[in-house]
């Protein structure tokens, strides 16, 4: 199970769901610096994984001669950067519910992109689930009178990240290495800017905080590697629905652990979305138990 695309996706989203527990120790963080450190220190981490799996770096350098591959990897890296920025800002500024909603919205984008660009097909139950999810978001839009922009950017950018990977014909780790290399100049620019302005965490003298910033690289990289492997092995519709694990965990953390206010409209909104997820789980369970048509007819 754990070696299947769906099983790997479950592991990825379980880890992602628990990330707010880590970032609670970095309140009001410099998000751009955290993400830039993540890019810088993720490169040697990915390199070690490539060596362990005996994936030659020559394969990556050869792929980087393909302009289309480099461009798609750069786009993927930028979309991931945007999504992580929104997420990290939310969980370090007491907006875990907004992060949860963002990743509840993301499967809708993934499903729509899968249908539009990859010719995936929705079952009846999946179509109902999408409609319920849209209705859930609509409840919040109606109540607050505006779109939840932070959540939309977070969810939409991450869905585009997954979509880009479907068009790159390389293994997951090679794609991630090229992503990181292409956005490294941007990350270095942010780091040097903070050093120049003397606002860098490395100039603060706060050793625990520096360690938390540094460890954010492997902490966020682990689920991303798992996600990239899952995208290779299953379709975006399945990725979309499995991802509901993550925001469900974050929703519970926001309410139970971080004590964020849970208004009636949010209960209704999340309830509609969870109902859609339940329908998909029932459908998937039924499909697994149902015997093949040929055997049933025989």
The mean pLDDT of the chain is: 83
pLDDT band with cut points at 50, 70 and 90 for residue 261:
confident
Q: Are 83 and 158 in contact (CB under 8 A)?
A: yes
- Nearest residue to 221 via CA among 35, 20, 29: 35
Instruction: Determine the pLDDT at residue 53.
Output: 82
- The CB density around residue 233, as the number of other CB atoms within 10 Å, is 16
Q: Which of 71-75, 231-235, 237-241 has the lowest mean pLDDT?
A: 237-241
pLDDT band with cut points at 50, 70 and 90 for residue 287:
low
pLDDT tens per residue, range 163-206: 888 888 888 889 989 999 999 999 999 999 999 998 999 998 88
Instruction: Determine the pLDDT at residue 185.
Output: 95
pLDDT above 90 coverage of the chain, percent: 23
Answer with the residue of higher pLDDT: 105 or 217: 217
Mean pLDDT to the nearest integer, 255-262: 84
Separation in Å, CA 123 to CA 178, 238, 285: 35, 12, 14
Instruction: Determine the pLDDT at residue 298.
Output: 40
Instruction: Determine the pLDDT at residue 296.
Output: 41
One-character DSSP codes across 157-190: HHHHHHHHHTT--S-HHHHHHHHHHHHHHHHHHH
Instruction: Determine the pLDDT at residue 291.
Output: 55
Res. 229: pLDDT tops 70? yes
Instruction: Determine the pLDDT at residue 288.
Output: 58
pLDDT above 70 coverage of the chain, percent: 92
Instruction: Determine the pLDDT at residue 233.
Output: 75
Instruction: Determine the pLDDT at residue 297.
Output: 39
Instruction: Determine the pLDDT at residue 282.
Output: 76
The Cα–Cα gap between 279 and 126 comes to 8
Instruction: Determine the pLDDT at residue 34.
Output: 92
Instruction: Determine the pLDDT at residue 125.
Output: 81
Res. 240: pLDDT tops 70? no
Q: Are 47 and 41 in contact (CB under 8 A)?
A: no
Instruction: Determine the pLDDT at residue 1.
Output: 43
Mean pLDDT to the nearest integer, 270-287: 75
The Cα–Cα gap between 192 and 144 comes to 39
Separation in Å, CA 51 to CA 8, 45, 72, 220, 238: 21, 10, 24, 20, 30
Q: Which of 180-184, 211-215, 235-239, 265-269 has the lowest mean pLDDT?
A: 235-239
pLDDT tens per residue, range 94-134: 888 888 888 777 777 877 788 888 877 778 887 888 888 88
Res. 294: pLDDT tops 50? no
- Nearest residue to 233 via CA among 278, 166, 155: 166
Res. 79: pLDDT tops 90? yes
- Return the half-sphere exposure (C-beta side, CA atoms, 13 A cut-off) of residue 74: 13
The Cα–Cα gap between 18 and 12 comes to 10
Sign, CA dihedral 265-266-269-270, equals: negative
């Amino acid at each position: 199970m754990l070696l299947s695309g769906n099983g790997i996706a479950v592991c990825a989203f379980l880890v992602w769901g628990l990330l707010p527990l880590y970032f609670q120790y970095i309140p009001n963080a410099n998000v751009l610096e955290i993400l830039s450190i993540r890019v810088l220190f993720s490169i040697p981490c990915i390199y070690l994984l490539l060596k362990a799996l005996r994936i030659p770096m020559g394969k990556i350098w050869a792929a980087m001669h393909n302009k289309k591959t480099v461009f798609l990897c750069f786009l993927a890296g930028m979309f991931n950067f945007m999504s992580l920025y929104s997420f990290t800002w939310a969980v370090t500024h007491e907006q875990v519910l907004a992060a949860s909603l963002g990743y509840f919205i993301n499967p809708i984008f993934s499903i729509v992109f899968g249908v539009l660009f990859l010719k995936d097909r929705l079952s009846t139950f999946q179509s109902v689930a999408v409609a319920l999810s849209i209705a859930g978001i609509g409840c919040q839009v109606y109540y607050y009178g505006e779109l939840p922009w932070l959540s939309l950017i977070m969810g939409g950018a991450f869905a585009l990240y997954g979509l880009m990977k479907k068009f790159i014909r390389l293994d997951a780790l090679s794609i991630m290495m090229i992503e990181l290399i292409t956005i490294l100049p941007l990350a270095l620019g942010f780091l040097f800017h903070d050093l120049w302005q003397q606002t860098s965490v490395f100039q603060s003298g706060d050793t625990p905080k520096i360690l938390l910033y540094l460890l954010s690289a492997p902490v966020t990289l682990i689920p991303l590697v798992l996600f990239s492997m899952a995208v290779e092995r299953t379709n975006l519709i399945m990725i979309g629905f499995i991802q509901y694990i993550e925001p469900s965990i974050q929703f519970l953390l926001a309410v139970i652990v971080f004590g964020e206010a849970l208004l009636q409209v949010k209960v209704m909104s999340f309830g509609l979305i969870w109902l859609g997820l339940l329908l998909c789980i029932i459908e998937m369970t039924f499909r697994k138990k149902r015997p093949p048509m040929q055997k049933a007819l025989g």
